[in-house]
Protein backbone atom coordinates (compact mmCIF):
# COMPACT_ATOMS: atom_id res chain seq x y z
CA UNK A 1 0.00 0.00 0.00
CA UNK A 2 1.55 3.27 -1.14
CA UNK A 3 0.03 6.01 0.97
CA UNK A 4 2.13 8.72 -0.68
CA UNK A 5 0.12 8.27 -3.90
CA UNK A 6 -2.62 10.31 -2.23
CA UNK A 7 -0.34 13.35 -2.31
CA UNK A 8 0.46 13.10 -6.04
CA UNK A 9 -1.32 13.60 -9.32
CA UNK A 10 -4.97 14.55 -9.04
CA UNK A 11 -5.11 13.50 -5.40
CA UNK A 12 -2.57 16.18 -4.46
CA UNK A 13 -4.09 18.85 -2.20
CA UNK A 14 -4.37 22.48 -3.25
CA UNK A 15 -2.72 25.02 -0.98
CA UNK A 16 -4.80 28.16 -1.32
CA UNK A 17 -8.38 29.34 -1.32
CA UNK A 18 -9.62 31.09 -4.46
CA UNK A 19 -12.62 33.22 -5.37
CA UNK A 20 -13.28 33.91 -9.05
CA UNK A 21 -16.23 35.61 -10.76
CA UNK A 22 -17.79 35.42 -14.23
CA UNK A 23 -16.08 32.21 -15.23
CA UNK A 24 -15.36 31.50 -18.91
CA UNK A 25 -17.57 28.86 -20.54
CA UNK A 26 -17.28 26.71 -23.63
CA UNK A 27 -20.74 25.84 -24.92
CA UNK A 28 -23.96 27.00 -23.28
CA UNK A 29 -25.11 26.51 -19.69
CA UNK A 30 -28.81 25.54 -19.61
CA UNK A 31 -30.92 28.47 -18.41
CA UNK A 32 -32.86 26.30 -15.94
CA UNK A 33 -29.76 25.52 -13.85
CA UNK A 34 -30.20 27.94 -10.95
CA UNK A 35 -28.27 26.90 -7.88
CA UNK A 36 -24.93 25.68 -6.55
CA UNK A 37 -22.92 22.64 -7.50
CA UNK A 38 -20.91 21.74 -4.41
CA UNK A 39 -18.47 18.93 -3.79
CA UNK A 40 -16.22 18.16 -0.84
CA UNK A 41 -13.14 16.04 -0.26
CA UNK A 42 -10.04 15.61 1.88
CA UNK A 43 -7.49 18.40 1.42
CA UNK A 44 -4.81 18.25 4.13
CA UNK A 45 -3.75 21.59 5.56
CA UNK A 46 -0.03 20.95 5.38
CA UNK A 47 1.73 17.57 5.14
CA UNK A 48 4.69 16.59 7.28
CA UNK A 49 5.17 13.03 6.01
CA UNK A 50 3.60 12.11 2.65
CA UNK A 51 4.49 8.43 3.10
CA UNK A 52 2.26 8.21 6.19
CA UNK A 53 -0.63 10.33 4.90
CA UNK A 54 -4.12 8.82 5.02
CA UNK A 55 -6.26 10.44 2.34
CA UNK A 56 -9.50 10.02 4.30
CA UNK A 57 -8.07 12.02 7.20
CA UNK A 58 -7.37 15.20 5.25
CA UNK A 59 -9.27 18.30 6.36
CA UNK A 60 -12.40 18.86 4.29
CA UNK A 61 -12.43 21.45 1.52
CA UNK A 62 -15.59 22.43 -0.39
CA UNK A 63 -15.44 23.43 -4.06
CA UNK A 64 -18.48 25.21 -5.46
CA UNK A 65 -19.82 26.90 -8.60
CA UNK A 66 -22.87 29.16 -8.67
CA UNK A 67 -24.92 28.87 -11.88
CA UNK A 68 -27.72 31.29 -12.80
CA UNK A 69 -29.30 32.64 -16.01
CA UNK A 70 -26.90 30.69 -18.20
CA UNK A 71 -23.85 32.11 -16.43
CA UNK A 72 -21.24 30.74 -14.04
CA UNK A 73 -21.26 33.56 -11.50
CA UNK A 74 -18.49 32.32 -9.24
CA UNK A 75 -16.16 29.58 -8.14
CA UNK A 76 -15.00 29.24 -4.54
CA UNK A 77 -12.99 26.69 -2.59
CA UNK A 78 -12.90 26.83 1.20
CA UNK A 79 -11.55 24.67 4.00
CA UNK A 80 -14.20 23.81 6.56
CA UNK A 81 -13.18 25.78 9.66
CA UNK A 82 -13.18 23.18 12.39
CA UNK A 83 -11.60 24.44 15.60
CA UNK A 84 -8.21 23.01 14.65
CA UNK A 85 -8.33 24.41 11.09
CA UNK A 86 -9.28 27.87 12.38
CA UNK A 87 -6.42 27.71 14.90
CA UNK A 88 -3.88 26.73 12.23
CA UNK A 89 -5.08 29.51 9.93
CA UNK A 90 -4.82 32.03 12.77
CA UNK A 91 -8.55 32.79 12.69
CA UNK A 92 -11.20 32.96 15.43
CA UNK A 93 -13.11 29.75 16.02
CA UNK A 94 -16.60 29.69 14.52
CA UNK A 95 -19.78 29.12 16.51
CA UNK A 96 -20.19 27.31 19.79
CA UNK A 97 -17.40 25.26 21.43
CA UNK A 98 -17.14 21.60 20.47
CA UNK A 99 -15.61 18.59 22.21
CA UNK A 100 -12.16 18.63 20.64
CA UNK A 101 -11.91 14.81 20.83
CA UNK A 102 -14.62 14.67 18.16
CA UNK A 103 -13.78 17.84 16.28
CA UNK A 104 -12.73 17.48 12.66
CA UNK A 105 -13.27 19.35 9.39
CA UNK A 106 -15.88 17.11 7.66
CA UNK A 107 -14.71 15.85 4.27
CA UNK A 108 -17.24 13.30 2.98
CA UNK A 109 -20.43 15.09 1.89
CA UNK A 110 -21.90 18.55 1.47
CA UNK A 111 -25.68 18.83 1.41
CA UNK A 112 -28.55 21.25 1.86
CA UNK A 113 -31.70 20.92 3.94
CA UNK A 114 -34.19 23.42 5.28
CA UNK A 115 -32.47 26.27 3.43
CA UNK A 116 -29.09 25.61 5.06
CA UNK A 117 -25.81 24.07 3.90
CA UNK A 118 -23.87 21.40 5.79
CA UNK A 119 -20.51 19.65 5.54
CA UNK A 120 -20.96 16.08 6.77
CA UNK A 121 -18.89 13.13 7.90
CA UNK A 122 -19.63 10.02 9.99
CA UNK A 123 -18.77 8.23 13.21
CA UNK A 124 -20.37 10.82 15.51
CA UNK A 125 -18.13 13.66 14.33
CA UNK A 126 -20.14 16.88 14.24
CA UNK A 127 -21.25 18.48 10.97
CA UNK A 128 -20.44 22.10 10.23
CA UNK A 129 -22.90 24.61 8.81
CA UNK A 130 -21.75 26.70 5.86
CA UNK A 131 -23.04 29.87 4.25
CA UNK A 132 -24.13 29.99 0.63
CA UNK A 133 -20.67 31.41 -0.14
CA UNK A 134 -19.02 28.40 1.56
CA UNK A 135 -17.78 30.23 4.64
CA UNK A 136 -18.05 28.29 7.90
CA UNK A 137 -20.81 29.28 10.35
CA UNK A 138 -19.89 26.72 13.00
CA UNK A 139 -20.52 23.24 14.33
CA UNK A 140 -24.17 22.16 14.07
CA UNK A 141 -26.52 19.66 15.74
CA UNK A 142 -28.79 19.79 12.66
CA UNK A 143 -31.74 20.98 14.69
CA UNK A 144 -31.50 18.66 17.67
CA UNK A 145 -29.60 15.43 16.98
CA UNK A 146 -28.76 13.53 20.19
CA UNK A 147 -25.45 14.05 21.98
CA UNK A 148 -22.68 12.18 20.14
CA UNK A 149 -24.90 11.19 17.21
CA UNK A 150 -25.45 13.18 14.08
CA UNK A 151 -26.40 12.74 10.44
CA UNK A 152 -24.23 10.31 8.57
CA UNK A 153 -22.54 11.39 5.35
CA UNK A 154 -25.21 9.74 3.18
CA UNK A 155 -28.51 11.32 4.08
CA UNK A 156 -31.63 10.42 2.07
CA UNK A 157 -34.19 13.01 1.01
CA UNK A 158 -37.80 11.93 0.51
CA UNK A 159 -39.34 14.20 -2.15
CA UNK A 160 -42.86 13.10 -1.24
CA UNK A 161 -42.71 13.96 2.46
CA UNK A 162 -39.91 16.54 2.48
CA UNK A 163 -38.17 14.51 5.22
CA UNK A 164 -34.45 13.84 5.35
CA UNK A 165 -33.31 10.49 6.77
CA UNK A 166 -29.96 9.43 8.18
CA UNK A 167 -28.49 6.26 9.64
CA UNK A 168 -25.81 7.23 12.14
CA UNK A 169 -23.17 5.34 14.09
CA UNK A 170 -20.62 6.44 16.66
CA UNK A 171 -17.14 5.01 17.11
CA UNK A 172 -17.18 2.23 19.71
CA UNK A 173 -20.94 2.35 20.46
CA UNK A 174 -22.97 -0.86 20.05
CA UNK A 175 -26.09 0.66 18.54
CA UNK A 176 -26.92 2.86 15.57
CA UNK A 177 -29.61 5.49 15.11
CA UNK A 178 -32.17 6.11 12.41
CA UNK A 179 -32.76 9.88 12.47
CA UNK A 180 -35.64 11.57 10.64
CA UNK A 181 -35.49 15.31 10.01
CA UNK A 182 -38.56 17.45 9.40
CA UNK A 183 -38.89 19.34 6.10
CA UNK A 184 -37.88 22.55 7.88
CA UNK A 185 -34.72 20.99 9.30
CA UNK A 186 -35.46 19.96 12.91
CA UNK A 187 -35.29 16.41 14.22
CA UNK A 188 -38.64 14.63 13.99
CA UNK A 189 -37.71 11.34 15.67
CA UNK A 190 -34.87 8.93 16.38
CA UNK A 191 -34.83 5.13 16.64
CA UNK A 192 -32.03 3.18 18.33
CA UNK A 193 -31.05 -0.08 16.59
CA UNK A 194 -28.86 -2.65 18.40
CA UNK A 195 -25.56 -3.26 16.57
CA UNK A 196 -23.40 -5.38 18.90
CA UNK A 197 -20.63 -5.96 16.32
CA UNK A 198 -20.18 -2.16 16.00
CA UNK A 199 -20.13 -2.20 12.17
CA UNK A 200 -18.84 0.51 9.88
CA UNK A 201 -21.85 2.04 8.10
CA UNK A 202 -21.30 4.41 5.20
CA UNK A 203 -24.66 4.23 3.42
CA UNK A 204 -28.12 2.68 3.74
CA UNK A 205 -31.32 2.20 1.75
CA UNK A 206 -34.71 3.89 2.08
CA UNK A 207 -38.05 2.90 0.53
CA UNK A 208 -41.62 4.05 1.11
CA UNK A 209 -41.99 1.78 4.14
CA UNK A 210 -38.57 0.42 5.09
CA UNK A 211 -35.01 1.27 6.06
CA UNK A 212 -32.26 -1.07 4.80
CA UNK A 213 -29.20 -1.52 7.02
CA UNK A 214 -26.03 -3.07 5.62
CA UNK A 215 -23.58 -4.74 7.99
CA UNK A 216 -20.36 -6.48 7.04
CA UNK A 217 -17.15 -7.88 8.56
CA UNK A 218 -15.78 -4.31 8.56
CA UNK A 219 -16.19 -3.47 12.26
CA UNK A 220 -14.83 -1.19 14.95
CA UNK A 221 -11.48 -2.34 16.32
CA UNK A 222 -9.90 -0.16 19.06
CA UNK A 223 -6.51 -1.79 18.40
CA UNK A 224 -6.44 0.09 15.09
CA UNK A 225 -6.82 3.57 16.60
CA UNK A 226 -3.15 4.26 15.94
CA UNK A 227 -3.78 3.97 12.18
CA UNK A 228 -6.36 6.77 12.32
CA UNK A 229 -9.03 4.42 10.90
CA UNK A 230 -10.22 2.13 13.72
CA UNK A 231 -12.06 -0.38 11.52
CA UNK A 232 -10.83 -3.78 10.34
CA UNK A 233 -12.07 -6.93 8.64
CA UNK A 234 -13.25 -9.76 10.90
CA UNK A 235 -13.73 -13.07 9.04
CA UNK A 236 -15.90 -14.42 11.85
CA UNK A 237 -18.70 -11.93 11.17
CA UNK A 238 -21.36 -12.20 8.45
CA UNK A 239 -22.47 -9.80 5.75
CA UNK A 240 -26.14 -9.01 6.28
CA UNK A 241 -28.96 -6.74 5.25
CA UNK A 242 -31.43 -5.65 7.91
CA UNK A 243 -34.98 -4.55 7.09
CA UNK A 244 -36.72 -2.20 9.55
CA UNK A 245 -40.03 -0.35 9.22
CA UNK A 246 -39.48 3.38 8.67
CA UNK A 247 -41.49 4.11 11.81
CA UNK A 248 -39.20 1.83 13.84
CA UNK A 249 -39.61 -1.71 15.11
CA UNK A 250 -37.99 -5.12 14.84
CA UNK A 251 -35.12 -5.49 12.36
CA UNK A 252 -35.13 -8.66 10.23
CA UNK A 253 -31.58 -9.72 9.38
CA UNK A 254 -30.72 -11.81 6.31
CA UNK A 255 -27.31 -13.25 5.36
CA UNK A 256 -25.39 -12.50 2.18
CA UNK A 257 -22.06 -13.53 0.61
CA UNK A 258 -19.04 -11.79 2.21
CA UNK A 259 -18.57 -8.21 1.12
CA UNK A 260 -19.34 -4.62 1.97
CA UNK A 261 -21.86 -2.17 0.49
CA UNK A 262 -20.10 1.02 -0.42
CA UNK A 263 -23.07 2.98 -1.75
CA UNK A 264 -26.74 2.64 -2.63
CA UNK A 265 -27.96 3.63 -6.09
CA UNK A 266 -31.62 3.25 -5.13
CA UNK A 267 -34.03 1.00 -3.23
CA UNK A 268 -37.75 0.46 -3.72
CA UNK A 269 -40.64 -1.94 -3.10
CA UNK A 270 -42.24 -4.08 -5.78
CA UNK A 271 -44.69 -6.99 -5.57
CA UNK A 272 -44.03 -7.77 -1.91
CA UNK A 273 -40.26 -7.55 -2.33
CA UNK A 274 -37.62 -4.92 -1.74
CA UNK A 275 -35.15 -4.20 -4.52
CA UNK A 276 -31.84 -2.54 -3.65
CA UNK A 277 -29.27 -1.62 -6.30
CA UNK A 278 -25.94 -1.27 -4.54
CA UNK A 279 -22.22 -0.95 -5.21
CA UNK A 280 -20.57 -3.89 -3.45
CA UNK A 281 -16.95 -4.58 -2.57
CA UNK A 282 -16.62 -8.37 -2.60
CA UNK A 283 -13.91 -9.97 -0.52
CA UNK A 284 -11.76 -8.26 2.12
CA UNK A 285 -12.24 -4.48 2.17
CA UNK A 286 -9.93 -1.92 3.77
CA UNK A 287 -10.74 1.69 4.59
CA UNK A 288 -7.02 2.43 4.44
CA UNK A 289 -6.71 1.71 0.72
CA UNK A 290 -9.58 2.99 -1.42
CA UNK A 291 -8.05 1.73 -4.66
CA UNK A 292 -7.59 -1.87 -3.55
CA UNK A 293 -11.11 -3.15 -4.15
CA UNK A 294 -13.11 -3.90 -7.28
CA UNK A 295 -16.58 -2.54 -6.53
CA UNK A 296 -19.37 -3.65 -8.88
CA UNK A 297 -23.06 -2.87 -9.27
CA UNK A 298 -25.40 -5.54 -7.90
CA UNK A 299 -29.15 -5.90 -7.40
CA UNK A 300 -30.35 -7.37 -4.12
CA UNK A 301 -33.94 -8.62 -4.09
CA UNK A 302 -35.27 -9.15 -0.58
CA UNK A 303 -38.13 -11.64 -0.36
CA UNK A 304 -39.87 -10.56 2.84
CA UNK A 305 -42.12 -13.64 3.01
CA UNK A 306 -39.25 -16.11 2.62
CA UNK A 307 -36.72 -14.07 4.59
CA UNK A 308 -34.10 -14.49 1.85
CA UNK A 309 -32.05 -12.27 -0.46
CA UNK A 310 -31.22 -13.00 -4.10
CA UNK A 311 -28.17 -11.24 -5.53
CA UNK A 312 -27.65 -10.43 -9.20
CA UNK A 313 -24.71 -8.77 -10.95
CA UNK A 314 -25.95 -5.77 -12.94
CA UNK A 315 -22.61 -4.64 -14.34
CA UNK A 316 -19.12 -6.02 -13.79
CA UNK A 317 -17.09 -2.93 -14.70
CA UNK A 318 -15.49 -1.52 -11.54
CA UNK A 319 -17.50 1.55 -10.50
CA UNK A 320 -18.63 3.61 -7.55
CA UNK A 321 -20.30 6.91 -6.58
CA UNK A 322 -23.73 5.91 -7.96
CA UNK A 323 -26.38 8.60 -8.43
CA UNK A 324 -29.86 8.81 -9.94
CA UNK A 325 -32.77 11.19 -10.41
CA UNK A 326 -33.67 12.00 -6.80
CA UNK A 327 -37.32 12.54 -7.71
CA UNK A 328 -37.53 8.76 -8.20
CA UNK A 329 -35.66 7.84 -5.02
CA UNK A 330 -37.39 5.10 -3.03
CA UNK A 331 -39.57 3.96 -5.93
CA UNK A 332 -39.16 2.02 -9.20
CA UNK A 333 -36.84 3.77 -11.65
CA UNK A 334 -34.94 3.15 -14.87
CA UNK A 335 -31.67 5.07 -15.01
CA UNK A 336 -28.59 5.19 -12.82
CA UNK A 337 -25.21 6.91 -13.19
CA UNK A 338 -21.82 6.04 -11.72
CA UNK A 339 -18.11 6.78 -12.01
CA UNK A 340 -15.83 4.16 -13.49
CA UNK A 341 -13.10 3.17 -11.05
CA UNK A 342 -11.10 1.02 -13.45
CA UNK A 343 -7.39 1.50 -12.94
CA UNK A 344 -5.30 2.58 -15.87
CA UNK A 345 -2.93 -0.12 -17.09
CA UNK A 346 0.67 1.07 -17.55
CA UNK A 347 1.58 1.52 -21.22
CA UNK A 348 5.09 0.25 -20.56
CA UNK A 349 7.14 -1.31 -17.81
CA UNK A 350 8.82 2.06 -17.29
CA UNK A 351 5.60 3.97 -16.66
CA UNK A 352 5.18 4.63 -12.91
CA UNK A 353 2.04 3.57 -11.10
CA UNK A 354 -0.68 6.16 -11.52
CA UNK A 355 -1.40 8.07 -8.29
CA UNK A 356 -5.16 8.35 -8.89
CA UNK A 357 -6.12 4.73 -8.24
CA UNK A 358 -9.77 4.36 -7.36
CA UNK A 359 -10.88 6.83 -10.05
CA UNK A 360 -10.90 6.83 -13.84
CA UNK A 361 -11.67 9.07 -16.80
CA UNK A 362 -15.20 7.81 -17.53
CA UNK A 363 -18.73 7.93 -16.17
CA UNK A 364 -21.49 5.42 -16.89
CA UNK A 365 -25.23 5.57 -17.55
CA UNK A 366 -27.16 2.36 -16.80
CA UNK A 367 -30.53 1.62 -18.37
CA UNK A 368 -31.86 -0.83 -15.81
CA UNK A 369 -34.85 -1.69 -18.00
CA UNK A 370 -32.91 -2.83 -21.07
CA UNK A 371 -29.59 -3.66 -19.38
CA UNK A 372 -27.68 -1.31 -21.70
CA UNK A 373 -24.85 0.87 -20.40
CA UNK A 374 -23.52 4.02 -22.08
CA UNK A 375 -20.09 5.46 -21.38
CA UNK A 376 -18.84 9.02 -21.55
CA UNK A 377 -15.06 9.02 -21.66
CA UNK A 378 -12.90 12.05 -21.12
CA UNK A 379 -9.20 12.25 -22.02
CA UNK A 380 -6.73 9.76 -20.59
CA UNK A 381 -5.50 12.10 -17.86
CA UNK A 382 -8.85 13.83 -17.36
CA UNK A 383 -9.77 12.32 -13.99
CA UNK A 384 -13.53 12.29 -13.45
CA UNK A 385 -15.35 11.83 -10.15
CA UNK A 386 -18.95 11.57 -8.99
CA UNK A 387 -21.56 12.85 -11.46
CA UNK A 388 -24.66 14.43 -9.90
CA UNK A 389 -27.95 14.22 -11.81
CA UNK A 390 -30.04 17.41 -11.97
CA UNK A 391 -33.56 17.11 -13.47
CA UNK A 392 -34.62 19.74 -15.99
CA UNK A 393 -37.16 22.18 -14.57
CA UNK A 394 -39.88 21.02 -16.96
CA UNK A 395 -38.68 17.44 -17.30
CA UNK A 396 -40.88 15.06 -19.32
CA UNK A 397 -38.87 11.88 -18.72
CA UNK A 398 -36.80 10.36 -15.90
CA UNK A 399 -33.51 11.09 -17.71
CA UNK A 400 -34.54 14.57 -18.89
CA UNK A 401 -31.84 16.55 -17.15
CA UNK A 402 -28.12 17.03 -16.72
CA UNK A 403 -25.06 15.33 -15.24
CA UNK A 404 -22.73 17.74 -13.47
CA UNK A 405 -19.19 16.82 -12.43
CA UNK A 406 -15.67 18.18 -12.04
CA UNK A 407 -13.20 16.90 -14.62
CA UNK A 408 -9.47 17.60 -14.63
CA UNK A 409 -8.21 19.29 -17.81
CA UNK A 410 -4.56 18.23 -18.17
CA UNK A 411 -3.84 20.88 -20.81
CA UNK A 412 -4.79 23.70 -18.46
CA UNK A 413 -3.74 21.95 -15.26
CA UNK A 414 -7.10 22.97 -13.83
CA UNK A 415 -10.65 21.65 -13.56
CA UNK A 416 -13.78 22.14 -15.60
CA UNK A 417 -17.32 21.88 -14.32
CA UNK A 418 -18.81 19.74 -17.10
CA UNK A 419 -22.54 19.81 -17.92
CA UNK A 420 -23.74 16.79 -19.90
CA UNK A 421 -27.18 16.11 -21.30
CA UNK A 422 -28.29 12.87 -19.66
CA UNK A 423 -30.35 12.03 -22.76
CA UNK A 424 -27.32 12.55 -25.02
CA UNK A 425 -24.94 10.98 -22.55
CA UNK A 426 -22.11 9.98 -24.87
CA UNK A 427 -22.33 13.22 -26.90
CA UNK A 428 -20.42 16.44 -26.49
CA UNK A 429 -20.96 18.32 -23.23
CA UNK A 430 -23.50 21.11 -23.25
CA UNK A 431 -21.03 23.29 -21.38
CA UNK A 432 -17.60 23.29 -19.77
CA UNK A 433 -17.12 25.92 -17.09
CA UNK A 434 -13.39 26.60 -16.89
CA UNK A 435 -12.31 26.92 -13.28
CA UNK A 436 -9.18 28.88 -12.37
CA UNK A 437 -7.66 26.06 -10.31
CA UNK A 438 -7.34 22.31 -9.97
CA UNK A 439 -10.04 20.48 -8.02
CA UNK A 440 -8.44 17.45 -6.36
CA UNK A 441 -10.17 14.09 -6.58
CA UNK A 442 -12.71 14.12 -3.80
CA UNK A 443 -15.76 12.39 -2.42
CA UNK A 444 -19.39 13.46 -2.58
CA UNK A 445 -21.43 16.49 -3.43
CA UNK A 446 -24.82 17.78 -4.46
CA UNK A 447 -26.65 20.20 -6.66
CA UNK A 448 -28.51 22.56 -4.32
CA UNK A 449 -31.14 24.51 -6.24
CA UNK A 450 -31.87 28.09 -5.34
CA UNK A 451 -35.59 27.31 -5.03
Please give the pLDDT value at position 60.
97
**85 in Cβ contact with 75 (< 8 Å):** no
Mean pLDDT by 10 residues, the chain (451 residues): 68 94 98 98 83 80 98 98 95 85 90 92 90 96 72 90 92 91 89 93 96 94 79 92 96 95 96 96 74 85 96 95 97 97 46 51 96 93 92 97 96 96 98 97 95 80
Alpha-carbon gap, residue 182 to 432, rounded angstroms: 36
Please give the pLDDT value at position 283.
77
Domain limits of the chain?
3-449
Q: What is the CATH number of domain 3-449?
A: 2.130.10.10
Q: Establish how many alpha carbons lie within 13 A of residue 224's alpha carbon, considering only the half-sphere containing its beta carbon.
A: 16
* 223 burial level (CB within 10 Å; 0-12, 13-18, 19+): exposed
**192 in Cβ contact with 177 (< 8 Å):** yes
pTM: 0.94
**180 in Cβ contact with 163 (< 8 Å):** yes
Strand runs (DSSP E) across 271-361, as ranges? 273-282, 296-303, 308-315, 319-323, 335-340
Please give the pLDDT value at position 289.
65
Please give the pLDDT value at position 358.
52
Helix, coil or strand: residue 446:
strand
At a CB cut-off of 8 Å and minimum separation 6, what does 174 contact?
A: 194, 195, 196, 198
Alpha-carbon gap, residue 231 to 261, rounded angstroms: 15
Amino acid sequence: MRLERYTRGNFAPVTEEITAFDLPVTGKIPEDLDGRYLRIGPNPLGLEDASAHLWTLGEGMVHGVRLRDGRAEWYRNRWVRSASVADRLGEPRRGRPVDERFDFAPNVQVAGHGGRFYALIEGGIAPYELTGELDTVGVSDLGGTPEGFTANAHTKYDHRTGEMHSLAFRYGVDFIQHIVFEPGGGVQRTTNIPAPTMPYLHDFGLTDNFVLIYTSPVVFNPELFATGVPFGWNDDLPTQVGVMPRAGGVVRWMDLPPGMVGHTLNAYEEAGRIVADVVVHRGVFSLLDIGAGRPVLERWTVDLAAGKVRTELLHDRPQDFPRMNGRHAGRPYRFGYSASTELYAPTSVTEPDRPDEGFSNAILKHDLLTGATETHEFGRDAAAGEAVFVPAVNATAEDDGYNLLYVHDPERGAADLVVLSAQDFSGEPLARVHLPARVPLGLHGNWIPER
